[in-house]
């Protein structure tokens, strides 16, 4: 399908975006048509699938609310946790000619300046009310609870501003709504562009579309410029409500792109007249908060706070006092209220002596339609109106408008300010040539290494992510090994009067973290082994859900490749919940868990954050080795059943190949125990885990942890003979119990040392 045929396609409403006022294809679209190459359904289906996969890798697919049966370590079910909606990126961009964009950009800057002036006046001299431009009753009804809001001094009210605009069917642009409180969309725009650039690797170059990625650097400079006076190396953070926020994906992506900590209310505290970030070894000062919380959820101590447990007590007082900058300032939400909009033209003339370039969109205005790919049913192009969101950042007296953005597609019956279609378009600005690159962010600022700065919540989540990943792997390995042995030799159930079945029953229970329990009497071994396999598969699903939950809350610390692995693990969770456990499904899970483990070792900077991730993994693996050996090999198993049972234990600990290459003989218990407990060259052995734990404790300068690891190491050196009492190997049980005790204490002390202290802000005088 060509551009000409597309422009004149017999679709209701046609594709107005493609046509100029004379009904001919717009010039900007000719270059874009060459870049897209084809509008055929088969090509668009393929591009849509690529975009879906790439968005899923960034977090839009492995969302916590989809893990229907998951309960995290805090006891919260998925239904009570995150509600976040993935979106679909249309493979056809929304195109703006550079001249048209320049008009819109100038209008956006003008509007931001007017809104800044309105905020200054309404929270200051109130000339608009005194001169009859703005009704006093309206002002007080909208802002009475924030009448004393805002920061004192030279800093602007608005550092970041967004405005939604739409083109009508005659080609004229209108303002749909302003966003001044906590403007959204910048992160989505950057993410959408990164995805479409991969779907159309040469498309942007061929079309000559302007870049958008440098706007994040512009915003970062704007945040630095807004810091309180006298701060030589200002620290900024991105404040979010957490994974439960519908736009959390954007917050996480934007924090990563800005290179800033993504923090929640519990991570911050006002003390001694300053705002502080709770990090591993104390408090670090914060100068600028780029807030993704709106006014009504920012500070629970302020009138009008809507509750919900979010926000930072006292942060508004700190902003008024000038010790911290809020971007945007508290109270800026007043400027975006729909009831204020009719008075803006008069306010612009009264305060700024200017006439607003773009009128407000009137209800019922017919909007221009854009080509949107509908991949449901029979793939086709449909005509839908779209609303473009533009992004503006202010640094001092300079304004920068992102040369692109996101266009939200409207479903039939949608109001332009409330799209429901969950379809977005990347906005391409073409025909303007190559823009000059901004100066370096570091200009005039000292270089500071923040690699050791890790919020406690982040370290906490990474630690439990490591533990959940290892628990999932242990359970999946055990279930796969037992299922495979049963497939290969169903008669193994009756081997040595059921000794193998009893041993693998104990192994599976240990893999679930359950205590040993004798199989039920009078029930065929096939039934209770099968039931235990099902329970182990369910345990894998639970741990995968926890893993994804923790990873979602620290997404900015994980690579894009890690995101793809997490998305597959979330899908695997669904399969495990909805279908019968199979060895093939467990194999796929284990491959992805191995990939996740490798990425954590090779794609994560080995600072404090990584240490806690690996600490969780090593502690859990230590307990798993002890549990599997105790459960299956602690039994006095007859020689006939020892071979397949020892094979199962070695396989569950990824050590069977190493054993066969080293000993090349039938299984001997002493050799198995040597490999699993004492051989520090075996990366799955107890000794190897203790060595790594010793390194982490030393790296964290944690004397108590080092002492506990040393105690466990000394106890692990005990030898084991064949003494059996009541069907158990006495010395083996004694060794395991003596080593497990300091390991459990280590895990408990770690949580108490770094994660268990409550947030207990001290309210300063003057609140």
| 44-49 average pLDDT score | 90
Confidence check: pLDDT of 685 > 90: yes
Give per-residue pLDDT as tens, 258-270: 989 999 999 999 9
pLDDT number for residue 211: 94
Give the H or E element holding residue 206. helix 203-207
pTM above 0.75, yes or no: yes
How do strand 274-279 and strand 282-286 relate by DSSP bridges? antiparallel
The tokens of 659 are what?
């054993």
Give the angle 440-444-450 at the CA atoms, nearest 5°.
Answer: 80
Confidence check: pLDDT of 288 > 90: yes
Confidence check: pLDDT of 408 > 80: yes
Confidence check: pLDDT of 730 > 80: no
* Least confident window among 236-245, 511-520, 682-691: 511-520
Confidence at 442, pLDDT banded by 50, 70, 90: very low
Give per-residue pLDDT as tens, 184-224: 999 999 999 999 999 998 999 999 999 999 999 999 999 99
pLDDT number for residue 168: 93
Confidence at 70, pLDDT banded by 50, 70, 90: very low
User: Considering only CA atoms, which of 252, 296, 277 is closest in space to residue 82?
Assistant: 252
Confidence at 350, pLDDT banded by 50, 70, 90: very high
126: left (phi over 0), alpha (psi -120 to 50) or beta: left
- The highest-confidence range among 259-268, 452-461, 510-519, by mean pLDDT, is 259-268
pLDDT number for residue 443: 47
- The highest-confidence range among 195-204, 292-301, 463-472, 556-565, by mean pLDDT, is 463-472
Confidence check: pLDDT of 17 > 90: no
Distance CA 559, CA 567 (A): 13
| More confident of the two residues 283 and 154 | 283
Confidence check: pLDDT of 272 > 90: no
| 601-620 average pLDDT score | 90
Confidence at 725, pLDDT banded by 50, 70, 90: low
pLDDT number for residue 758: 52
Confidence check: pLDDT of 710 > 90: yes
Give per-residue pLDDT as tens, 370-406: 989 987 767 788 889 999 999 999 998 999 999 999 9
* Least confident window among 32-41, 276-285, 458-467: 32-41
Q: H/E/C letters for each residue in 577-646?
A: HHCCCCHHHHHHHHHHHHHHHHHHHHCCCCCHHHHHHHHHHHHHHHHHHHHHHHHHHCECCCHHHHHHHH
pLDDT number for residue 451: 56
């Amino acid at each position: 399908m060509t551009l000409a045929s597309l422009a004149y396609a017999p679709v209701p409403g046609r594709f107005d975006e493609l046509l100029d006022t004379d009904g001919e294809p717009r010039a900007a679209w000719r270059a874009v048509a060459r870049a897209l190459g084809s509008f055929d359904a088969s090509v668009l289906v393929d591009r849509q699938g690529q975009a879906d996969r790439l968005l899923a890798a960034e977090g839009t697919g492995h969302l916590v609310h989809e893990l229907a049966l998951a309960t995290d370590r805090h006891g919260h079910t998925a239904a009570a946790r995150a509600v976040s909606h993935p979106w679909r990126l249309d493979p056809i961009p929304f195109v703006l000619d550079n001249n048209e964009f320049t008009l819109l950009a100038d209008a956006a800057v003008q509007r931001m300046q007017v809104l800044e002036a309105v905020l200054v006046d309404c929270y200051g001299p109130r000339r608009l009310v005194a001169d009859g431009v703005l009704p006093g009753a309206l002002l007080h009804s909208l802002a009475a609870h924030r009448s004393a809001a805002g920061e004192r001094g030279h800093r602007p009210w608005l550092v970041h501003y967004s405005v939604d605009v739409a083109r009508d069917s005659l080609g004229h642009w209108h303002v749909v709504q302003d966003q001044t409180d906590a403007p959204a969309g910048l992160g989505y725009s950057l993410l959408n562009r990164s995805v479409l650039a991969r779907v159309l690797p040469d498309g942007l170059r061929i079309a000559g579309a302007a870049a958008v990625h440098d706007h994040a650097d512009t915003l970062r400079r704007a945040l630095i410029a807004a810091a309180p006076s006298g701060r030589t190396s200002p620290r900024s953070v991105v404040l979010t409500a957490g994974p439960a926020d519908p736009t959390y994906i954007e917050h996480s992506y934007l924090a990563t792109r800005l290179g800033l900590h993504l923090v929640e209310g519990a991570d911050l505290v006002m003390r001694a007249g300053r705002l502080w970030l709770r990090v591993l070894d104390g408090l670090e000062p914060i100068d600028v908060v780029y807030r993704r919380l709106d006014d009504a959820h920012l500070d629970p101590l302020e009138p009008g706070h809507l509750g919900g447990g979010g926000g930072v007590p006292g942060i508004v007082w700190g902003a008024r006092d000038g010790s911290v900058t809020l971007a945007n300032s508290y109270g800026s939400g007043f400027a975006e209220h729909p009831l204020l909009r009719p008075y803006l033209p008069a306010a612009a003339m009264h305060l700024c002596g200017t006439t607003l370039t773009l009128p407000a969109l009137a209800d019922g205005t017919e909007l221009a339609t854009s080509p949107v790919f509908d991949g449901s049913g029979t793939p086709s192009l449909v005509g839908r109106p779209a609303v473009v969101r533009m992004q503006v950042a202010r640094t001092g007296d300079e304004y920068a408008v992102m040369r692109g953005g996101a266009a939200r597609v409207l479903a039939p019956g949608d109001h332009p300010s409330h799209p429901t279609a969950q379809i977005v378009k990347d906005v391409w600005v073409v025909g303007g040539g190559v823009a000059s690159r901004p100066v370096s962010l570091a200009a005039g600022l000292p270089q500071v290494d923040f690699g050791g700065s890790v919020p406690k919540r982040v370290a906490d989540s990474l630690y439990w992510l490591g533990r959940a990943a290892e628990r999932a792997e242990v359970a999946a390995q055990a279930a796969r090994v037992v299922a495979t042995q049963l497939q290969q030799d169903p008669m193994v159930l009756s081997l040595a009067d059921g000794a193998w079945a009893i041993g693998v029953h104990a192994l599976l229970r240990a893999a679930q973290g359950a205590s040993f329990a004798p199989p039920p009497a009078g029930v065929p071994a096939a039934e209770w082994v099968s039931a235990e396999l099902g329970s182990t598969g369910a345990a894998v699903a639970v741990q995968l859900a926890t893993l994804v939950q923790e990873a979602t809350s620290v997404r900015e610390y994980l690579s894009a490749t890690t995101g793809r692995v997490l998305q597959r693990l979330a899908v695997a969770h669904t399969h495990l919940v909805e279908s019968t456990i199979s060895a093939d499904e467990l194999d796929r899970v284990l491959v992805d868990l191995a990939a996740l483990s490798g990425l954590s070792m090779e794609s994560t900077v080995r600072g404090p954050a990584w240490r806690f991730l690996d600490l969780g993994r090593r502690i859990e693996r230590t307990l798993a080795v002890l549990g599997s050996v105790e459960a299956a090999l602690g039994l006095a198993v007859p020689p006939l059943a020892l071979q397949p049972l020892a094979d199962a234990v070695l396989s569950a600990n990824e050590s069977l190949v190493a054993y066969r290459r080293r000993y090349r003989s039938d299984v001997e218990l002493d050799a198995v125990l040597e490999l699993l407990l004492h051989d520090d060259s075996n990366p799955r052995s107890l000794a190897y885990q203790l060595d790594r734990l010793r390194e982490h404790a030393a790296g964290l300068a944690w004397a108590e942890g080092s002492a506990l690891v040393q105690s466990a190491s000394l106890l692990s050196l005990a030898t084991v003979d064949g003494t059996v009492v009541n069907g158990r190997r006495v010395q083996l049980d004694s060794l395991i119990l003596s080593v497990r005790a300091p390991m459990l204490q280590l895990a408990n002390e770690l949580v108490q040392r770094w994660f268990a202290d409550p947030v207990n802000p001290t309210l300063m005088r003057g609140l």
